[in-house]
Amino acid sequence: MLFPTTIAGSLPKPAWLAEPERLWPDWRLAGAALREAQRDATRIALFEQEHAGIDLVTDGEQSRRHFVHGFAGALAGVDSAKLARRGIRGDRYEADCPTIVGEVRRNAPVHADEMRFAREATKHRLKITIPGPMTIVDTLNDEHYRDRKKAAFAFARAIREEIEDLVTLGVDAVQIDEPAFNVYFDEVDEWGVAALDACIDGVRCETIVHVCYGYGVDANVKWKAKLGEEWDQYAHIFPFLAQSKVGAVSLELAGSHVPPRVLGMLGDKKAAIGVIDVATDRVERAEDVAKTIELARRYLPDERIICSTNCGMAPMRRDIAYAKLRALGEGALLARGETILSR
């Protein structure tokens, strides 16, 4: 099938599960009641994606408070209670970051329970998102390695082990989230792609790396406003990603200043193009989505195009996020020349 659809990863959490429209929401419940509520929210996230015609679905990240700390905070050597305020993503914003206090190790599976549940709850192809080594290191305070590269490879080992368990559970695709790649070009070249490859070396599933301009939150919107008429970030890193072991690159395209010609710099990789803008509450029409797909077709053969969202939708309003999911599914139908049954 041409133009298969997926989402970057996260969906908004219901207000009964966590504070709505927040990046670091507090859970509304605790203990067994929280786990049950997370599973209920996962069922809804899967249902909404299936209903919208999304082919490769995620659990909407309903069981993690934050896309980085859900994984990193579960590893030995990371102290989630020891927070230090620091600038992250090239000082684009400040965050309270957990601390690396010792050798990083994965003593037990991190996302196995929630993925086992999601696997049983859907017949669709299932994707897990895991933060990448550079992004993890950039979102922690390091008191142990004091060397970003060394720390990154320690996390890469833990990610590789985690993927092995998840593939055994029936996960079809793993997406490594590396928004930090769009900030530290020299490090991407020096060790970032090598750390990415260490995460996925020899895995028996589809692999994707997500490199984006972030959620539609204020700090990112202000940063993007300063990037000028043409954003050249991808042009710096895509040539390196073209040499990596990853199967597909997930990127922002809809409503952005990314020049589409960067799609031609991905070598033989597939591109999961963002056809949904997460930085606006305006819901795309199916025709808008189809237009973005047409734009990508000028630079890529059809069989290398996957349709996705620009980034996660965690901080959005639920009704808007679900409407955008439907636009994504319908836009892909239009691009395939199929009929939209709901019309």
Which is closer to Zn ion, CB of 37 or CB of 45? 45
Alpha helix ranges (H) inside the chain: 31-52, 69-72, 112-121, 133-137, 148-168, 185-187, 193-200, 218-225, 233-241, 286-297, 318-336
Instruction: Quote the least distance from Cβ 129 to Zn ion, whole Å.
Output: 9
> Which residues make beta-bridge pairs with 272?
250, 306
Q: How far is CA 200 from CA 25, 188, 305, 309, in A?
A: 30, 16, 21, 23
**Nearest-approach distance from CB 212 to Zn ion, in angstroms:** 3
Instruction: Determine if 68 is a binding residue for Zn ion (CB under 5 A).
Output: no
The DSSP bridge partners found for residue 208 are 175, 248
Residue 103: strand, helix, or coil: strand
Shortest CB 321 distance to Zn ion, Å: 14
| Cβ-based nearer residue to Zn ion, 37 or 212 | 212
Both tokens assigned to 270: 């597939």
**CB 204 → Zn ion: shortest distance, Å?**
25
| 178 vs 284, beta carbon nearer Zn ion | 178
Pattern 149-168, Zn ion, x by CB under 5 A: --------------------
Shortest distance, CB of residue 249 to Zn ion, whole angstroms? 12
Supply the angle between the helices 112-121 and 148-168 in degrees, to the nearest 10.
Answer: 40
Other beta carbons within 10 angstroms of residue 319's beta carbon come to 11
Considering the complex, what minimum distance in angstroms separates the CB of residue 274 from Zn ion?
Answer: 9
CB 316 within 8 A of CB 275: no
For Zn ion, the closer CB: 181 or 240: 181
Closest to Zn ion by CB, 89 or 297? 89
Question: x-or-dash pattern for Zn ion, window 204-223, by CB under 5 A?
Answer: --------x-----------
Give the nearer residue to Zn ion in terms of CB position, either 117 or 234: 234
Question: Interaction with Zn ion in 90-109: which residues (CB under 5 A)?
Answer: none
In contact, 137 and 86? CB cutoff 8 Å? no
Residue 311 CB, nearest distance to Zn ion (Å)? 3
If you count them, how many residues does the chain have? 343
Q: Which is nearer to Zn ion, 25 or 132 (CB)?
A: 132
User: Count of residues binding Zn ion (CB under 5 A)?
Assistant: 2
Q: How far is the CB of 81 from Zn ion (least distance, A)?
A: 27
**Cα(331)–Cα(313) distance, rounded to whole angstroms?**
18
Distance in angstroms (rounded) separating the CA atoms of residues 32 and 44 = 19
Q: Of 77 and 216, which CB lies nearer to Zn ion in the complex structure? A: 216
* Binding to Zn ion in span 293-332, by CB under 5 A: 311
Binding mask 222-261 for Zn ion (x = CB under 5 A): ----------------------------------------
Query: What end-to-end distance do the CA atoms of the chain give, in Å?
Result: 22
Per CB under 5 A, residues contacting Zn ion are 212, 311
